[in-house]
Amino acid sequence: MASKISEITRRDILDSIFLEQINMYGRLGETEFLSRVWDLDSMPSTDARFSNATGDIWQHTVNNEDWEPGWVFSDARFNLMRGDDETFLRFLSLTAKESEAKAVSRR
């Protein structure tokens, strides 16, 4: 089934998240957040030292912190720009929930 949310709309939404510096992950770590949308353990790693995306993401976002903020938007494994609408909306919903939870916890 073709996506109803265009790539232009997706880019506008993701640009807003990035430019407004919204903490997508809220109180969660990146792997914990992303694993609520995707099965990271069954996704391939882009780093030969790891067998799956979980280890790969941890290495580059926690241990080394050598991936740029917003890396998930351009990572083909997540396909946020051209993937199915349901996954994109689940990602956005969790982003909104977690960023609000973090804001409330700071009050």
Q: pLDDT of 15-38, one tens digit each?
A: 898 888 888 888 888 999 999 999
Instruction: Enter the pTM of the model.
Output: 0.82
Q: How far apart are CA 3 and CA 101, in angstroms?
A: 29
Q: Render pLDDT for 76-107 as a digit per residue (tens, 0 to 9).
A: 999 999 999 999 999 999 998 877 655 545 55
Contact between 82 and 3 (Cβ < 8 Å): yes
Contact between 80 and 73 (Cβ < 8 Å): yes
Q: How far apart are CA 77 and CA 44, in angstroms?
A: 8
**Residue 11: count of CB within 10 angstroms of its CB:** 13
What pLDDT is recorded for position 102?
A: 54
